C-alpha cells in the first residue's frame, strides 16, 4: 500500500485537473494577448478564471486577482511590494513566528533594506496572542503578515480578530495572510478577515505546481518586484501560465463544491487518528492545538527517544510518506522552528512527524498508518540508547 500523508507540502494533480491542463497545453494554447480568435477565447477564459477566484474569496472583482507562480512569489510580491511602496509612511512590519520560510526570508531581506521587523510569538498551541499584536503596533507599522493556518502545527489563526484590530488603528496598516493551507480547504472571505492581500498556491489543492495567485485589494499601494512586458497585469510581468491557471480553477471548483463535507469527514478522521495513536503508542506529544482551533488536514506528533528522519524513512519503506521536523531532514540541518516556537525542545522537534491529509484520505489508510507507525516506533526505540525513565 502507498499512502501519501504529506499533502501540506504538495498534492497530486487530479486527473480531471490534468485533463484541463492538457487541453490548454495542446489545444487552446494561444496567448491571451494575441489578436486572433483563439487568443481571444483564451483571454475570455482567463478573465472568467479571474472572476471565479475573486468570487471564491468574496473579493469585489477579478482585477483584484494577480496570478503568480505560487505562494512563494505571492508572498514576495505582497510583502516586498507593499513595504517598498509604502516606505514613506513607515518602516515597521509585523509577522508571526509561524510564518512560511519565504516570509521569514523576506523579512530578513527587508531588515537589510532598513525596515524593522517584529516577530510576534505564538503560545504553546501555535496561536498568536492578540494583545501581543496590539502591543507591537507602532505609528510606523505599515504591514502585518500572519499565516492563515500554521503549516507545521495546524493552528488556525484568528484572522478575523486581527483584521478587526488593524482596521481600528488610526493609520492604514496593510494586512497580508499566507492562505496556502486555507484556500480551497476552508471557506475564505477576504471581507470578513479584512485582509488586503492574500497568497494562495495551487499545488496545495490538487492543481499543478508553478501556479498560484495573490489577492490584492483595490487601492493597495504596491510595487512590482519584477519588470517586463505589460501583460494582463502591470504588477506581474510575463505571459500568464494559462494551462496551470485553468487547472487551478478546476481544482478549486472541485474542492469548494464539497468543502463542508470534506471538512467534517476529515475532522472525524483526525480525531480517530489522534485517539488511536495516543492510546496505542506511549510517550507521544501532540504538537499544536486540539479540536476546532486545528485544521483537520494536519496532525503532528513527537515521538520521544527517537529521531524523526529515521521514523519517516522507515515509514516510507512501508509505503507511508510523511514529513518530519528533524534537523536531519532539512538542508540547513536545523530543527523545525515551528516546534521550537510553540515551546518544544530540540528533542521534540527532532522527533516530530507531520501527517497531512487530503480530502481523499480514508480510514483504511489511517488504520494502516497507525499499524506501521507502532512497529516502526517500537523498533527504533529498541535500538535507541535513551529509554523512558533514564
DSSP per-residue codes, 41-89: HHHHHHHHHHHHHHHHTT-S-GGGEEEESSHHHHHHHHHHHHHHHTTTT
**Nearer residue to another protein within complex by CB, 64 or 178:** 178
- Identify which range of 10-18, 88-96, 129-137, 166-174 contacts another protein by CB under 8 A: 10-18
Q: Site for another protein (CB under 8 A): which residue of 114, 219, 385, 389?
A: 385
- Residue closer to another protein (CB basis): 52 or 379: 379
Contact positions with another protein (CB under 8 A) in 248-307:
305-307
Name which of 29 and 257 has its Cβ closer to another protein.
Answer: 29
What residues form DSSP beta bridges with 156? 149
Cα 318 from Cα 184, distance rounded (Å): 30
Pairing of strands 212-216, 197-201: antiparallel
Three cell numbers written together for 106:
523576506
Axis crossing angle, helix 259-280 with helix 242-257, rounded to the nearest 10: 70
Query: Starting from the edge strand earliest in sequence, which strands make up the sheet with 284-286, in order?
Result: 284-286, 298-303, 352-356, 323-324
Site membership for another protein, residue 47 (CB under 8 A): no
Find the binding residues for another protein in span 161-220 (CB under 8 A).
Answer: 201, 203, 208-211
- Comparison of 103 and 166: residue with beta carbon closer to another protein: 103
Does residue 384 interact with another protein by CB under 8 A? yes
Query: Which of 222, 266, 310, 366: binder of another protein (CB under 8 A)?
Result: 310
- Rule CB under 8 A: say whether 139 interacts with another protein: no
By the rule CB under 8 A, 21 interacts with another protein: yes
Nearest to 123 by CA among 115, 114, 132: 132
Residue among 58 and 105 whose Cβ is closer to another protein: 105
Exactly one of 30, 328, 340, 370 is catalytic; which is it?
328
Q: How far apart are CA 226 and CA 212, in angstroms?
A: 16
328 is annotated as an active-site residue: yes
Q: Please report, as residue ranges, which positions from 73 to 92 form the binding site for another protein (by CB under 8 A).
A: 73, 75-76
Output the DSSP codes for 145-212: E--SB-TTT-BBP-HHHHHHHHHHSSS--EEEEE-TTTBTTB---HHHHT-SEEEEEGGGTTSPSS-E
Judged by CB under 8 A, which stretch of 30-38, 48-56, 151-159, 161-169 contacts another protein?
30-38
Pair 266, 360: CB distance under 8 Å:
no
Q: Which stretch binds another protein (CB under 8 A): 140-148, 213-221, 279-287, 329-337?
A: 329-337
Using the rule CB under 8 A, which residue among 160, 168, 226, 367 binds another protein?
A: 226
Active site amino acids: 328
Amino acid at each position: 500500500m502507498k499512502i501519501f500523508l504529506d499533502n501540506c507540502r504538495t498534492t497530486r494533480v487530479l486527473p480531471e485537473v490534468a485533463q484541463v491542463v492538457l487541453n490548454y497545453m495542446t489545444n487552446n494554447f494561444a496567448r491571451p494577448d494575441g489578436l486572433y480568435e483563439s487568443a481571444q477565447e483564451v483571454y475570455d477564459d482567463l478573465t472568467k478564471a479571474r472572476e471565479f477566484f475573486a468570487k471564491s474569496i468574496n473579493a469585489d472583482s477579478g482585477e483584484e486577482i494577480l496570478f503568480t507562480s505560487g505562494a512563494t512569489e505571492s508572498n514576495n510580491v505582497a510583502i516586498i511590494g507593499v513595504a517598498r511602496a509604502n516606505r514613506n509612511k513607515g518602516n515597521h512590519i509585523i509577522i508571526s513566528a509561524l510564518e512560511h520560510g519565504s516570509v521569514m526570508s523576506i523579512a530578513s531581506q527587508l531588515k537589510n533594506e532598513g525596515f524593522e521587523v517584529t516577530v510576534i510569538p505564538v503560545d504553546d498551541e501555535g496561536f498568536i496572542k492578540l494583545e501581543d499584536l496590539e502591543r507591537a503596533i507602532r505609528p510606523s507599522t505599515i504591514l502585518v503578515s500572519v499565516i492563515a493556518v500554521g503549516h507545521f502545527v495546524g493552528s488556525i489563526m484568528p484572522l478575523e480578530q486581527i483584521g478587526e484590530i488593524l482596521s481600528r488603528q488610526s493609520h492604514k496598516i496593510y494586512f497580508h495572510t499566507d492562505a496556502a493551507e486555507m484556500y480551497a480547504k476552508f471557506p475564505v472571505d477576504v471581507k470578513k478577515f479584512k485582509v488586503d492581500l492574500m497568497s494562495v498556491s495551487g499545488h496545495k489543492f490538487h492543481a499543478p505546481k508553478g501556479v498560484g495567485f495573490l489577492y490584492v485589494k483595490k487601492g493597495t499601494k504596491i510595487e512590482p518586484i519584477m519588470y517586463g512586458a505589460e501583460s494582463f497585469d502591470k504588477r506581474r510581468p510575463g505571459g500568464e501560465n494559462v494551462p496551470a491557471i485553468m487547472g487551478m480553477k478546476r481544482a478549486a471548483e472541485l474542492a469548494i463544491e464539497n468543502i463542508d463535507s470534506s471538512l467534517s469527514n476529515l475532522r472525524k478522521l483526525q480525531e480517530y487518528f489522534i485517539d488511536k495513536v495516543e492510546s496505542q503508542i506511549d510517550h507521544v506529544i501532540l504538537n499544536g492545538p486540539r479540536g476546532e482551533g486545528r485544521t483537520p488536514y494536519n496532525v503532528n506528533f513527537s515521538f520521544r527517544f527517537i529521531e524523526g528522519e529515521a521514523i519517516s524513512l522507515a515509514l516510507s519503506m512501508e509505503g507511508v510518506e510523511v514529513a518530519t521536523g528533524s534537523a536531519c531532514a532539512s538542508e540547513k540541518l536545523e530543527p523545525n522552528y515551528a516546534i521550537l516556537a510553540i515551546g518544544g525542545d530540540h528533542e521534540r522537534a527532532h522527533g516530530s512527524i507531520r501527517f497531512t491529509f487530503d480530502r481523499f484520505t480514508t480510514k483504511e489508510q489511517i488504520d494502516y498508518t497507525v499499524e506501521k507507525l507502532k512497529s516502526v516506533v517500537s523498533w527504533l526505540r529498541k535500538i535507541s540508547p535513551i529509554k523512558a525513565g533514564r
